[in-house]
Structure 1
Amino acid sequence: DHGIGLPSCLELRLDPSLKMRHLVIDTAPPGGSWHSMHDATKTISPGPWMEFPSYPLDAFLRQRTPTLSSRQAAESAAVLQQRSIIAEYYVAMAERFGIAQHHRPWRVSAVHREIEGGPAGLWRVEFDGRPALRARALVLAVGTSTTPLRLGIPGEERQ
């Protein structure tokens, strides 16, 4: 038994007291590379292995296609999925959990450590055609775990 068909034992809950001010800056919508893959691409895992806790894929499929019965949606969710379904599901998940409001479809053009003209320890993040932002913390996530994108910056080889 590989757990296929069993609901997730995890639950996502919003606790406003733990809310963190943040932005996700990416020209791609939530779901990242799923939006840019070839249309014929399918998942290598069954649908339930691609889903988030508290938002089953079959529930998304019923919302997407209201004429599907619960059984039809469950059967459709249980198989390998087209990349477009997963891309749409991840966008819907971001909306459902209030994450989409933090997404900005901007392109970062430069990142500098603030030294002069601002509080010490801040990062200055510059964008194409937009005013720069300052941040106390910055997470730079590029590439994938198996194919990291190298930027040629000091310290990127550190684990």
Structure 2
Amino acid sequence: MRAVIQRVSRANCSVDNKITGQIENGLLILIGIEQEDTIEDMKWMAQKFVNLRIFNDENGLMNKSIQDIAGNILFISQFTLFAQTKKGNRPSFIRAAKPEKAQPMYIEMADYLSTLLDKKIQLGIFGADMKIDLLNDGPVTIIMNTQDKENF
């Protein structure tokens, strides 16, 4: 499982010019799910998302989590995080989980995040052609991978 986590002042997702999810002050999380990913991986990563201290405190230091600031999450499934370009220039997505595995795990992770934060998680539409508009705050962008847990 790979994630790109961006601290944002605002973000929204639209499909066919209709907004499917939008937030102010929180995290835009792009999530890629791999065939080998487990429920334990999903729970580990969700816990990291809600506990990351990447929001500024009263002294301007990154000491607060999304829970501390009562922030929001826009959660977007993005299989392209597993792009491989080793052989040529056309990306291969062979490592990304098939939709029948990825979609239920994406929904389960959104539900788990909602439970952890006790609020609704804003979503994109799985498999749709989504347009994401965001204002990155900082900028603060973190990349995480469950295959590299010892570094996170």
* TM-score computed with the length of structure 1 as normaliser: 0.24
* TM-score computed with the length of structure 2 as normaliser: 0.25
When you count strand as a share of all residues, which structure comes out higher?
2
State which structure, 1 or 2, has the greater radius of gyration over its C-alpha atoms.
1
Structure number with higher relative contact order (C-alpha < 8 Å, ≥ 6 residues apart): 2
